[in-house]
Structure 1
């Protein structure tokens, strides 16, 4: 079920840059920079599902980790700039420019579901301990209330409350991802960052998990940033889609517009790779891009896609094209596209 996208803003990302310094030499000084995310701006409204797609290494996961403010813990040398402004509890809080103490009361409002259900759950903890951990950190619930909440959450994600005494290794991949979803839901968040939550699962299980996430979103009025490389999955669940390439946003718009009428040459190539369920329909021409994705350590000048673009002009090497509105809410970063 798609929702009206003209909602009040929940998240406002302005000119976000995430750069990872590369150290080398005898004295281990900075020799290069990986521009994982290179000046992106977008918003997520309340009750909105925004899909973010692109090839592996385009910066999607880095964006997700920046939004939940865990990059400094993963890579202490990371260089972050720009603004990540949340509108929570009647306040505006900037996750980049605020102190950890200022951010802490808002942490429970932004949760994450990780890609690998085998790596994201602590194997030494029972399911009850895993799901109740955020409750211990962020609420004043008693042990009895926590136990009731865990049972209720397991029921919501389609598991049995009595399974709470089991350990992660006793569950299948799809069941583990349901545990991860229950953990993310524990504190009633406003936004859940879903980092490729179904890519490690079988196709039959993927549909179950996506339908579950849609049902939960309807019930709890949350927002999702749904990160994936499969455009058909994202189109199914999203209100709007953001297409990323090598740290930049190249296209952004309503899900049906981006999926059925892509404008950027990269979006068209991504979409042409989506398999059609009806083999008798041969109306979609497969677009094969030349060359490989450039190394983020050595990004091309100007438009990052120009080295593989069939429409590239000599002027494309001069500057990064701005994201411009071509139709109602449909933004494209390409001067060639009219």
Structure 2
């Protein structure tokens, strides 16, 4: 992918949360939530980010929109998150949350919980128009027209704009969240497990809606989830995360049908098949628990649960090497 087609380039991103202790409350350790990952999202492209709970997926998304310093002022962020805007490259990792405000309208987020992400004291019209009030100079009549248009785009009636969130179902609330994210015509939307709190029947509707909106508005998505079947359906490429590191990256069809890293193979083997006549590959059961990011194992973080482990795995974190064209794996043993 050429530089002209890249929207955001994440390079060696590290996010550490300090742990304080002792009489004088000094820093005694750090939770390495994200420990040096590199990837890029192209224009009109969907990148899937998958992994177990606690692997750092959501932290990556929050770092990319630069809200972590609001949530945890002591957070330590290293590396680069370069957005290729028309005015030139802007590095969100190197500027304050206040400094990102002129560019905030171009990067939006859909949150995981549609029940908690909407203010219960605001009507739907107020929720969707809030980004417009902050980032644009629209008149009240223009905002009202824009809100009605967005409601129609996400499959809701414009007459419902004066209702409150508690009057909607979970799927409808998530559609409101999508409308809010679309309000400022963003270039990138970070989707933090947007369908995990919804019923299976509603998940397909929301996913199909997001794909239609991507084609219509020329959007890019970073789609964060733990359900590989959903990610494979919507994504062009998939990055598999484990304990703060990307262990495999490639085209979604290659990751889903030809996984190479032992952890990716274990994840794929756990995906249920809807057709009982299809013979499923043998389930890979991982032994032990996921180590804590506070005390990560030396070398490869997956070595404590890997059935291919060798003594050399404890020496250093494997590089993300290209094992096949466009298919990167952080495991030299698999390549050998």
Question: What TM-score do you get using the length of structure 2 for normalisation?
Answer: 0.98
**Which residue in 2 is equivalent to 1:54?**
51
**Which residue in 2 is equivalent to 1:137?**
134
- Indicate which of 304, 308, 313 corresponds to 1:307: 304
State how far apart, in whole Å, the 1-side matches of 2:2 and 2:254 are.
13
State how far apart, in whole Å, the 2-side matches of 1:279 and 1:74 are.
45
State how far apart, in whole Å, the 1-side matches of 2:303 and 2:5 are.
36
CA contact (8 A) 1:5 1:48 kept: no
**Which residue in 1 is equivalent to 2:74?**
77
How far did 1:6 drift?
9.6
CA contact (8 A) 2:67 2:97 kept: no
Deviations along 1:186-206, whole A, 9 cap, x unmatched?
A: 000000000000000000000
**Which residue in 1 is equivalent to 2:150?**
153
CA contact (8 A) 1:49 1:237 kept: yes
Partner SS for 1:85: strand
Partner SS for 1:177: helix
State how far apart, in whole Å, the 2-side matches of 1:230 and 1:96 are.
28
**Which residue in 2 is equivalent to 1:329?**
326
Give unmatched runs, 5+ long, in structure 2.
none
State how far apart, in whole Å, the 2-side matches of 1:19 and 1:319 are.
19
Give unmatched runs, 5+ long, in structure 1.
none
1:234 aligns with 2:231: yes
Q: Alignment RMSD, CA only?
A: 1.3
Deviations along 1:190-236, whole A, 9 cap, x unmatched?
A: 00000000000000000000000000001000100000000000000
**Which residue in 2 is equivalent to 1:37?**
34
State how far apart, in whole Å, the 2-side matches of 1:28 and 1:187 are.
43
**Which residue in 2 is equivalent to 1:260?**
257
Trace 1:77-96 onto structure 2 (pairs within 5 A). Answer: 77-96=74-93
Question: What TM-score do you get using the length of structure 1 for normalisation?
Answer: 0.97
State how far apart, in whole Å, the 1-side matches of 2:98 and 2:295 are.
37
Q: What is the number of residues matched between the two proteins?
A: 335
How far did 1:91 drift?
1.4
Partner SS for 1:233: helix
> CA 1:6–1:94 in 2, change beyond 3 Å: closer, same or farther?
closer
CA contact (8 A) 1:134 1:186 kept: yes
CA contact (8 A) 1:198 1:206 kept: yes
State how far apart, in whole Å, the 2-side matches of 1:305 and 1:157 are.
41
* 83-92 or 220-229, larger mean C-alpha shift: 83-92
How far did 1:30 drift?
1.3
How far did 1:158 drift?
0.3
Partner SS for 1:192: strand
CA contact (8 A) 1:5 1:239 kept: no
